[in-house]
């Protein structure tokens, strides 16, 4: 069975609460005492430690929650066990600690535990947590995110099949990272501007990029990124991180024009090691631009692991140098991505400035179809991260909520495949581009030395004079 028992893990900073730690801990202990016996906190902390050892980050399954890398997880575990055994609350109070309250959710009691979460949110007067809880209960949002993620995965599979049969060029899959594109794309407004890298298929689909156009692009046809209905959205950018400074320029233009729009730039973890990235976040900070950077930290920059890319403990903390907010979230939790991307986008829209979000995920696929990841990573590592695959993770959560079924799953797969096949048909039947388009859009006025080449390509006689 897929391990989806963790509905949420919330970091609660007791020391910052207005009320005394003793009263709050007593109330939480009372609430937990009324819950299922499966809410065994020692077991929860053990699993937290196990996830840390796997290198997994963020445990916001189902509910959008921030990454909670607490150095003292073992210390917090010990403190809670002491409280369970009747230790003096005042003795614990002498050593301020952040306690992680993990709620283990059995399949048969999901709604009951959602109610318990709501009580905890009310207890701590956490409006943000309450908002995230409501989002997790929004069936329409869950279905929209899931359809996008499943469609993206099926599109990826079809595109790879086309590439393997010589009908498509090199292709970059987003396998295992679908939650990031879905969450970001769903959070954006139609008037916003996306500046993507090359692995954000789900976000582009939410932005009304057509599959036929995406296939044209990966097939080497620039018309794939030329759909006039896409407005100001930027084309796919394959060069690493060069689009980040362009995103800063877009955001500056939006601010200069006093338009309530936001630029959203997506990039990979490898892109954060480029100079362009640092220039872009610096400009975003100093000019207070309406710009949100979303880093897909999938642990690999082609064959270079995250551990060899940067000594920085997190990529999110690189925002400190630019003086902008930085946040690390669970990139395998579509609701986490949706919530925090939406929060950052709306803050930017209201004049609150830029945000850097690091969405921690894992690349379950090769870098591209031109890569062989088995040469530099182990099967054991890959299989360990398959357990956090966002697609079955969200599906299992919806099944727990009883808002999804095997029948609906089969129907959605059939519908998505039919739509994709129709788009593939359009792509394969597309007329080839006019050869003279090779010379278009390069110069305001074509240089004299290229004129004979253009005439030759179009069937005229070459002008050798």
CA distance 414 to 151: 10
Set 207, 261, 367, 393: catalytic member: 367
Q: What is the DSSP letter of 66?
A: B
Set 134, 164, 376, 386: catalytic member: 376
Note if 164 is an active site residue: no
Tokens 């991307």 appear where?
A: 341
Cβ-contact 139, 404 below 8 angstroms: no
Output the CA–CA distances (angstroms, integers) from residue 145 to 132, 225, 246, 333, 402, in the order listed.
15, 24, 28, 10, 16
CA distance 10 to 447: 62
The rounded Cα 75 to chain-centroid distance in angstroms is 31
Set 67, 113, 363, 385: catalytic member: 363
Structure tokens given for 407:
């029948």
Q: Is 84 exposed, middle or buried (0-12, 13-18, 19+ CB in 10 A)?
A: middle
Q: What is the DSSP letter of 241?
A: T
CA distance 56 to 389: 12
Note if 67 is an active site residue: no
Structure tokens given for 243:
């689009």
Note if 376 is an active site residue: yes
Strand partners, 264: 194, 292
Strand partners, 359: 296, 329
Question: Strand 300-301 to strand 304-305: parallel, antiparallel, or no bridges (unpaired)?
Answer: antiparallel
Q: Of 220, 222, 244, which Cα lies nearest the Cα of 235?
A: 222
Q: Is 461 exposed, middle or buried (0-12, 13-18, 19+ CB in 10 A)?
A: exposed
CA distance 216 to 225: 8
Cβ-contact 22, 96 below 8 angstroms: no
Sign of the CA dihedral 134, 138, 143, 144?
negative
Q: What is the DSSP letter of 6?
A: E
- Catalytic residue positions? 363, 367, 376
């Amino acid at each position: 069975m897929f391990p989806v028992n963790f509905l949420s893990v919330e970091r609660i900073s007791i020391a910052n609460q207005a009320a005394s730690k003793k009263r709050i801990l007593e109330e939480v202990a009372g609430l937990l005492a009324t819950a299922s016996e499966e809410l065994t906190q020692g077991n929860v902390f053990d699993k937290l430690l196990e996830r840390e050892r796997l290198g997994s980050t963020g445990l916001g399954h189902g509910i959008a929650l921030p990454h909670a890398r607490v150095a003292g997880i073992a210390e917090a575990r010990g403190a809670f066990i002491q409280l369970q055994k009747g230790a003096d609350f005042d003795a614990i109070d002498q050593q301020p600690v952040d306690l992680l309250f993990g709620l283990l959710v059995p399949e048969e009691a999901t709604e009951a535990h959602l109610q318990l979460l709501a009580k905890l949110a009310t207890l701590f007067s956490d409006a943000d947590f309450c908002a995230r809880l409501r989002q997790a209960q929004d069936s329409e949002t869950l279905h929209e995110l899931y359809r996008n993620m499943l469609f993206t995965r099926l599109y990826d599979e079809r595109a790879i099949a086309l590439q393997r049969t010589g009908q498509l060029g090199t292709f970059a899959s987003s396998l295992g990272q679908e939650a990031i594109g879905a969450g970001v794309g769903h959070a954006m407004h139609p008037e916003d501007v996306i500046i993507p890298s090359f692995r954000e298929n789900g976000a582009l689909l939410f932005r009304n990029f057509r599959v036929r156009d995406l296939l044209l692009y990966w097939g080497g046809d620039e018309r794939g990124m030329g759909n006039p209905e896409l407005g100001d959205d930027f084309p796919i950018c394959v060069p690493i991180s060069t689009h980040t400074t362009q995103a800063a320029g877009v955001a500056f233009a939006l601010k200069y024009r006093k338009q309530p729009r936001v630029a959203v730039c997506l990039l990979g973890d490898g892109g954060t090691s480029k100079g362009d990235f640092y220039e872009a976040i610096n400009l975003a900070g100093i000019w207070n631009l309406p710009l949100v950077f979303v880093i897909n930290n999938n642990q690999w920059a082609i064959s270079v692991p995250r551990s060899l890319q940067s000594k920085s403990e997190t990529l999110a903390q690189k925002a400190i140098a630019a003086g902008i907010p930085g946040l690390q979230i669970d990139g395998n939790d579509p609701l986490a991505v949706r919530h925090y991307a939406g929060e950052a986008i709306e803050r930017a829209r209201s004049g609150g400035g830029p945000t850097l979000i690091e969405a921690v995920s894992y690349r379950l696929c090769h870098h591209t179809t031109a890569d062989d990841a088995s040469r530099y990573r182990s099967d054991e590592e890959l299989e360990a991260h398959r357990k956090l695959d966002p697609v079955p993770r969200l599906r299992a959560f919806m099944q727990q909520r009883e808002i999804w079924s095997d029948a609906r799953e089969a129907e959605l797969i059939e519908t998505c495949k039919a739509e994709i096949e129709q788009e593939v048909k359009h792509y394969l039947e597309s007329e080839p581009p006019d050869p003279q388009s090779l010379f278009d859009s390069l110069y305001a006025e074509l240089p004299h030395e290229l004129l004979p080449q253009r005439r030759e390509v179009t069937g005229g006689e070459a002008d050798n004079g």
